Amino acid sequence: AKSEGPGKIKVFRPFMLQKLQESRTLEHDLAMALANKEFVVYYQPIVDSFTREIYSYEALIRWIHPLKGLLSPDTFVPAAEKTGMINEMGKYVLEIACREAATWAVPAKISVNVSPIQLSSKAFAGIVLSILEESGLSADRLELEVTESSLFTENDTPLKTLNKLRARGVQISIDDFGTGYSSLSRLSKLAFDKIKIDKSFVHSISTQDDALNIIRLITGMAKSLNMKAVAEGVETQEQLERLQALGCDLAQGYLFGKPQPGIAGRIRNG
């Protein structure tokens, strides 16, 4: 625009003010929502691909907005990451999820998503360990889902943090595998426990040879590195059968169960 040329005065247009107000309101809203306990944790099963036995539940945050209703994380997690609010929000999810899992009659694991922002904080390992202690959940029942981008950084805190937690028995999954830029050398610095195959590949497994070949590659790589492969977004029996044929150990998706609030009554003790 003309107004942005050299020597020109930068015009502050009304739409800019509107953008600024929108982001300020969202930041304020997120803080209020946390204080008012408007965030709830939903749980979705991850099952053994062959026996369908429940292996874990993934904790997925939802915002029950007083005016807008149920909001999915894609609408507010990015803003929470931008403002740093994700640290508090993530701690809240960890607390709720670990406390909930500690009451289950079955020893299924609990899988919790961790933002790269949380992982780059030096305080994170201590937070996780104190939540485990406070909830009474044993470390080997907690699994952290981290994305490749967490490790695609010069900062060595994420890797140190994950290695430290893993030494205490916490399991680590790489989420959305295949969509990021992780170098194999960086991945090999950390012995992960699981690789989650992004649902975009799973959805194309029956229609695109490329997707099938990528999944074959990832499951083969997981096997040779002694990790488990987890397919997310499994919706049909046909997808499941193809995944079984490739030796994919674990599966998650609407075929087995959608994310649901609290699992009280179904698997809670008593």
Please state the closest distance from residue 198 (CB atom) to ligand C2E, in A.
Answer: 7
- The amino acid at residue 169 is G
Candidates 5-13, 149-157, 182-190, 232-240: pick the segment binding ligand C2E (CB under 6 A): 232-240
- The amino acid at residue 95 is E
**Token output for 161:** 């943090």
Please state the closest distance from residue 113 (CB atom) to Ca ion, in A.
Answer: 5
Of the candidates 3, 18, 210, 254, which one interacts with ligand C2E according to CB under 6 A? 254
Site string (108-147) toward Ca ion, x via CB under 5 A:
-----x-------------------------------x--
The answer to whether residue 233 forms part of the interface with ligand C2E (CB under 6 A) is yes
Query: Which one, 36 or 75, has the nearer CB to ligand C2E?
Result: 75
Query: Which one, 9 or 35, has the nearer CB to ligand C2E?
Result: 35
DSSP letter for each residue of the chain = -GGGSTTSPPP--HHHHHHHHHHHHHHHHHHHHHHTT-EEEEEEEEEETTT--EEEEEEEEEEEETTTEEE-GGGTHHHHHHHSTHHHHHHHHHHHHHHHHHTBSS--EEEEE--HHHHT-TTHHHHHHHHHHHHT--GGGEEEEEEGGGTSSS-SHHHHHHHHHHHTT-EEEEEEETSS---HHHHHTS--SEEEEPHHHHHTTTT-HHHHHHHHHHHHHHHHTT-EEEE----SHHHHHHHHHTT--EEESTTT---EE--TTTTB--
The answer to whether residue 60 forms part of the interface with ligand C2E (CB under 6 A) is yes
Of the candidates 100, 143, 148, 175, which one interacts with Ca ion according to CB under 5 A? 175
Query: Which one, 178 or 259, has the nearer CB to ligand C2E?
Result: 259
The answer to whether residue 61 forms part of the interface with ligand C2E (CB under 6 A) is yes
Q: Which residue is closest to Ca ion by CB?
A: 145
Q: Do residues 169 and 141 touch, judged by C-beta distance below 8 A?
A: no
Residues contacting ligand C2E: total by CB under 6 A: 24
CA pair distance 54, 49, nearest whole angstrom: 10
The answer to whether residue 232 forms part of the interface with ligand C2E (CB under 6 A) is yes
Please state the closest distance from residue 77 (CB atom) to ligand C2E, in A.
Answer: 5
Residue 173, contacted partner among Ca ion, ligand C2E, none, CB below 5-8 A by kind: none
The answer to whether residue 115 forms part of the interface with ligand C2E (CB under 6 A) is yes
Query: Which one, 91 or 194, has the nearer CB to Ca ion?
Result: 194
- The amino acid at residue 10 is K
Q: What residues from 138 to 197 belong to the interface with ligand C2E (CB under 6 A)?
A: 145, 175-176
Whose tokens are 């074959």? That residue is: 216
Q: Do residues 142 and 132 touch, judged by C-beta distance below 8 A?
A: yes
- Residue numbers of the site for ligand C2E (CB under 6 A)? 44, 59-61, 72-74, 77, 90, 93, 113, 115, 145, 175-176, 199, 232-235, 252-254, 259
- Residue numbers of the site for Ca ion (CB under 5 A)? 113, 145, 175-176, 232
